[in-house]
């Protein structure tokens, strides 16, 4: 969560998603930006952040210009597609829907200081809940709709089996027309609820994720399934190191990877894990740093992954932390390294 002494900010990608939606509805984005007091060139800077208050003002102005109360649903769909490459990468890391959802709270690192999507069990169901960081924005329909529809699209697309929304609850008042909401989510809608959330069957948490053959897709330059093909011969021959790296890569995006969580995932004690690493003249800290560096170089090859998304995949709390670490490894920023590779 943002330090209370700092102004909450959001990445410019969120602004651009709103602009894409209003442009599709025939609204002039140039005049919209001018009236919102936003410089167009600022939105072209990858990784740039602007105040959340400015984002809310842009959204409110866009709602007035479009006179479309379903604008948030349109923006959420765009947000989903803008992050599609990241979602596909995640299907090569996680084995089932539960593992994927365990890293959803970290998506605050991808959007900015807007809020979190949390997972809660509820008898035979589980809920995806939208929790805005600023409680005063909980009644803003556009934000609730955007976050819920992008979450529903992700869940519905990455599983090998259908995962339909069974019930939807919204923290805002019942709108005059609900047809689009029903078509987007389901027929069971409730309004004026404590929070906005979606209900899914709990059994779907065990559903396996889709399996894509990235080797056939030359557009995915980092080829996630072969990320370790260039590892040392020792790694290829040492099944323990290989399995440990796979487990670490799976846990990295959650931002919660520790030696204790890793030993638990591998089904061994912390002491056993440390002993095996010591026998290989390594340590958890050294292996983590090496793995992050190896993965960062592979991820940076793919121009479709934003630097912010790469920081998320590597388990850093923000882009700045990743950039500082990368500079210590390579003597340059991630953006500079990416530019060098494209020459």
Are 34 and 101 in a shared domain? no
CATH code of the domain in which 336 resides: 1.10.10.60
Q: What is the pLDDT of residue 228?
A: 43
- Is residue 174 located within the same domain as residue 86? yes
Residue 213 lies in a domain: no
Confidence of residue 227 (pLDDT cuts 50, 70, 90): very low
158 and 88 together in one domain: yes
Kind plus residue range of the DSSP H or E element containing 299: helix 284-301
Distance CA 289, CA 324 (A): 13
pLDDT value, residue 59: 96
pLDDT at residue 218 in the model: 43
For the segment 133-156, the average pLDDT, to the nearest whole number, is 93
Query: Given pLDDT bands bounded at 50, 70 and 90, which one contains residue 213?
Result: low
- Considering 82-86, 99-103, 210-214, 288-292, the range whose residues carry the highest mean pLDDT is 288-292
Residues 84 and 200 reside in one and the same domain: yes
Predicted TM-score (pTM) of the model is 0.84
**pLDDT tens, position by position, 228-286:** 444 454 555 588 888 899 899 888 988 889 999 999 999 999 999 999 999 999 999 99
- Residue 25 token pair: 């509805």
Pair (92, 158) in one structural domain: yes
Judge whether 228 lies within some domain.
yes
Look at the chain and report how many structural domains it folds into: 3
* Residue among 338, 340, 311 nearest 323 (CA): 311
| Claim to verify: residue 153 and residue 197 sit in the same structural domain | yes
Domain of 288 in residue numbering reads as: 219-341
Whole-number Å distance between alpha carbons of 94 and 96: 6
Give me the mean pLDDT over the 154-182 stretch: 96
Based on the fold, state whether residues 63 and 84 are members of the same structural domain: no
Residue 183 lies in a domain: yes
- What is the mean pLDDT of the segment spanning 304-317? 89
pLDDT at position 214 is: 52
Last-in-domain residue among 22, 43, 68: 68
pLDDT above 90 (res 89): no
What is the predicted pLDDT for the residue at 107? 60
What is the pLDDT at residue 50? 95
- Which of 156, 184, 206 is where one domain is finished? 206
Residues 111 and 227 in one domain: no
- Average pLDDT, whole number, for the chain? 88
**pLDDT above 60 (res 85):** yes
How many whole angstroms separate alpha carbon 50 and alpha carbon 297? 28
Same domain, 273 and 171: no
Same domain for 98 and 131, yes or no, is yes
64 and 85 share a domain?
A: no
Does 3 score more than 50 pLDDT?
A: no
Residue 143 lies in a domain: yes
**287 lies in a domain?**
yes
- Provide CB contacts within 8 A for 227, sequence distance 6+: 249, 294, 295, 298
**pLDDT for 48 beyond 80:** yes
| Pair 297, 287: CB distance under 8 Å | no
Residue where a domain stops, chosen among 182, 206, 230: 206
The mean per-residue pLDDT over the stretch 319-328 comes to 93
Residues 50 and 153 in one domain: no
Answer yes or no: are the C-beta atoms of 112 and 10 closer than 8 Å: yes
């Amino acid at each position: 969560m943002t330090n209370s002494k700092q102004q909450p900010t959001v990445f410019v990608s969120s602004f651009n998603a709103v602009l894409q939606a209003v442009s599709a509805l025939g609204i002039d984005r140039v005049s919209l930006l001018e009236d919102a007091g936003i410089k167009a060139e600022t939105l072209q800077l990858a990784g740039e952040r602007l105040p959340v208050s400015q984002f809310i003002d842009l959204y409110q102005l866009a709602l007035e210009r479009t006179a479309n109360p379903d604008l948030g649903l349109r923006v959420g769909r765009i947000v989903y597609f803008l992050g599609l490459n990241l979602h596909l990468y995640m299907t090569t890391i996680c084995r089932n829907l539960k593992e994927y959802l365990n890293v959803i709270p970290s998506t605050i690192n991808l959007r900015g200081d807007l809020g979190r999507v949390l997972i809660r069990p509820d008898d035979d169901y589980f809920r995806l809940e939208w929790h805005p960081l600023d409680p005063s924005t909980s009644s803003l329909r556009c934000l609730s709709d955007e976050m819920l529809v992008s979450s529903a699209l992700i869940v519905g697309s990455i599983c090998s089996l259908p995962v339909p929304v069974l019930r939807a609850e919204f923290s805002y008042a019942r709108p005059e027309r609900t047809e689009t909401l029903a078509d987007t989510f389901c027929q069971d809608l409730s309004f004026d609820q404590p929070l906005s959330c979606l209900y899914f069957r709990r059994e779907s948490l065990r559903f396996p994720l889709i399996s894509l053959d990235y080797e056939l897709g030359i557009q995915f330059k980092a080829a996630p399934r072969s990320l370790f093909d260039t590892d040392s011969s020792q790694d290829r021959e040492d099944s323990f190191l290989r399995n440990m790296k796979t487990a670490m890569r799976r846990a990295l995006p959650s931002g919660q990877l520790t030696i204790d969580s890793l030993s638990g995932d591998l089904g061994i004690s912390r002491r056993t894990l440390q002993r095996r690493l010591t026998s290989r003249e390594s340590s958890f800290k050294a292996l983590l740093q090496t793995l992050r560096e190896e993965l960062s170089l592979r991820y940076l090859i793919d121009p479709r992954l934003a630097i912010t998304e790469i920081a998320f995949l590597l388990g850093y709390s923000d882009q700045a932390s990743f950039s500082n670490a990368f500079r210590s490894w390579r003597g340059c920023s991630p953006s500079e390294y990416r530019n060098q590779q494209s020459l």
